[in-house]
Amino acid sequence: MVYLKKSNGDYIYIPDLRIRVFQKLKLQPLKERYRALIEAGWNTFRIPVEKIYIDMLTDSGVNAISLEQLSDMLGLGLEDAYAGNRAYYKLLDVFKEYIPHKYLVLTHQGRAAENLVFRVLMKNGKKRYVLTNIHFTTTRAIVERVYGGRMIELPVREAFDTASNFEFKGNVDLLKLEEEIRRLKPENIAAVRIEYASNLIGGQPFSLKNYYETREICDKYGIPLVADISMADWQIALMKKRDPLAKGKNALSIIRELMELTDIAYASARKGFYVRGGFITVKNNDRIYEELRTWQVVFEGHTTYGGMSLKEVAMLIDGVKMAFDDELPFYELEQIEYAVKELDKRNIPVVKPPGGLGVHVDAKRFLPHVPLIPVNNQGGYPAGALVSALYLISGIRGMERGQISMDRDPETGEEIPVELDLVRLAMPRKTYLKDHLDYMIDRLIWLFENRHVLKGLKWVYEPPIMRFFEGLLKDHDNWGLELSNIYMKHFGEF
Ligand code: F0G
């Protein structure tokens, strides 16, 4: 139980955990942060971690680990082996309990799972289309750049309206789904892919009803339903809070119900499963499993480790239990809800309603004077500018999830304007405290008051694929220096 009745009749959240391993952090002075930002080319991916105070770049591979996982890490009694290590067989048993699928394929991380899944389903490019609620960056790169296909997003209208409180922004628009299947012809469609707690719209869930209806459409046209369950933990916890069809059910029964409706599931285990790895499960299609396993040994490793270390295979045993725990995922949902409400009270534009994954600031609305796409060498990219500015004034690292994260059209070289230009402040699982959030909220409020100082960014070096990882940019007109000077006057060095 994490929600108890308070003496005044309200509800109080009581975390069902304590944290006994800690890491000392150091906030660098403003001067250092300014230097680090310039050296990183105004790209938060390129800032070394020792220059960062609160790292909210991602929740991926940086979650806290549990006491059980710590002991798994030692691998005692598990006996490492190239083939047939003992942890793998224990893992199979745990998967059977939670996911009623016949087969498990391990991979070294999520995009490796995506590579195998879409390689097999797209038949090396013969089936061109993947229809989805919301794309993810690595998924799109694999479907489009590796296998020459096209990902087509069919979200509900509310998905891109950051101010809308619609509770199921991860839903698929069912009318459009059917229309697109008819237009593109079922035989050209490799899969319908549904992402759980959809990443790029702010960790937003779909409803169980929408999932049932998506399944019906897939059945009608004979198209496989593929689920990206990297963030199934938050998807299910949000369903428990909001979804009338999930009320009163526990996480185990919800994941089993969802997986009964799913042909293939895959995940980056680095997220909701607390371990550096990835996996695919196949409900019952023997031929698809055969093909996945064939390519698994080419790209990943032997079936019993799939590119993960023994330590990680063992940690995944507990990771699966943690993902589908009835209480644990609420720790971050509470944090996100708290921060979203505090920021919203001050009219700072954030994605609503609070979802999973993190706090997402709507940079288009925060910096309406910065163009989405640079014009005449004047600078653009509001979310890129905002995420850099936040690091500069606070040492907090977020991630740009907007125009910079969207690659140019490979054929025309033109920018593809995004609907959402967000700064993501991810909430790694069981890692930060409320005081960290209060600091983040305070600095965002200050930045909002001084937002007119920010101008855009422009490219110094722009890579052709997934440019956000390694690209180098620059602040137009040296606004970073001006912002630093105002900050220094107000707060001093820190
Ligand atoms: N699918 C989703 C929904 C993801 O969020 C990610 C990664 C992947 C697939 C790819 O997995 O990184 O293990 O190869 N998301 C990270 C993030 C990178 O920060 O959101 P991977």
Is residue 103 part of the annotated active site? The answer reads no
Where does a domain end: 323, 338, 370?
323
Structural domain count of the chain: 2
β-strand pairing of 225-228 with 189-195:
parallel
In this structure, are 307 and 256 located in the same domain? yes
Do 377 and 341 share a structural domain? yes
Domain end position, chosen among 303, 323, 343 = 323
Ligand 1: distance of its center to the CA of 111 in Å? 7
Task: Considering the candidates 10, 82, 93, 412, report the single residue annotated as catalytic.
Answer: 82
The reported pTM is 0.97
H helices then E strands: how many in the chain? 17, 16
Do 354 and 454 lie in a common domain? yes
Instruction: Let me know: does 24 contact 14? Beta carbons within 8 Å.
Output: no
pLDDT reading at 410 higher than 90: no
Q: Is 147 a catalytic residue?
A: no
Range of the domain at 164: 67-323
pLDDT, tens digit, for every residue of 46-96? 999 999 999 999 999 999 999 999 988 887 667 677 888 889 999 999 999
Q: In whole angstroms, what separates CA 213 from the centre of its chain? A: 24
Q: Which of 127, 271, 321, 429 is catalytic?
A: 271
Catalytic status, residue 162: no
Q: Say yes or no: CB of residue 60 within 6 Å of ligand 1.
A: yes
CB of 272 sitting under 6 A from ligand 1:
no
Q: What is the mean pLDDT of residues 8-24?
A: 93
What pLDDT, on the 0 to 100 scale, is given for residue 76?
67
Question: Does residue 198 line the site of ligand 1, with CB under 6 A?
Answer: no
Q: Does residue 401 have an active-site annotation?
A: yes
Mean pLDDT lowest for which of 13-22, 110-119, 164-173, 283-292? 13-22
Cα-based torsion angle of the residue sequence 414, 349, 426, 342 in order, rounded to the nearest 10 degrees: 180
Q: Is 228 a catalytic residue?
A: yes
Instruction: Check whether residue 25 and residue 112 sit in a common domain.
Output: no
Sequence-ordered list of residues with C-beta below 8 angstroms from that of 358, at least 6 positions apart, any chain:
56, 59, 202, 203, 336, 424, 425, 426, 427
pLDDT digits (tens, 9 = 90+) for 123-163: 977 899 999 999 999 999 999 999 999 999 999 999 999 99
My answer on whether 113 and 13 are in the same domain is no
Q: Report the separation in Å between the CA atom of 64 and the middle of ligand 1, taken as the mean of its atom positions.
A: 17
In this structure, the answer to whether residues 105 and 240 fall within a common structural domain is: yes
CA of residue 193 to ligand 1 center, whole Å: 15
Q: Whose CA is nearest to atom 12 of ligand 1?
A: 110
If asked whether residues 333 and 306 sit together in one domain, one would say no
CATH of the domain at 28: 3.90.1150.10
Give the end of a domain, one of 323, 351, 378: 323
pLDDT by residue (tens digit) across 91-113? 999 999 999 999 999 999 999 99
Q: Residue 257: enclosing H or E segment and its boundaries?
A: helix 251-260
Q: Are residues 335 and 311 in the same domain?
A: no
310, 338: one domain = no
Atom of ligand 1 nearest to the CA of 357: 20
Judgement on whether residues 402 and 350 belong to the same structural domain of the protein? yes
**Angle between helix 330-345 and helix 434-449 axes, rounded to 10 deg:** 30
**Closest protein CA for atom 21 of ligand 1:** 110
The CATH number that applies at residue 85 is: 3.40.640.10
Mark whether 117 and 47 lie in a shared domain: no
Q: Are residues 125 and 261 in the same domain?
A: yes
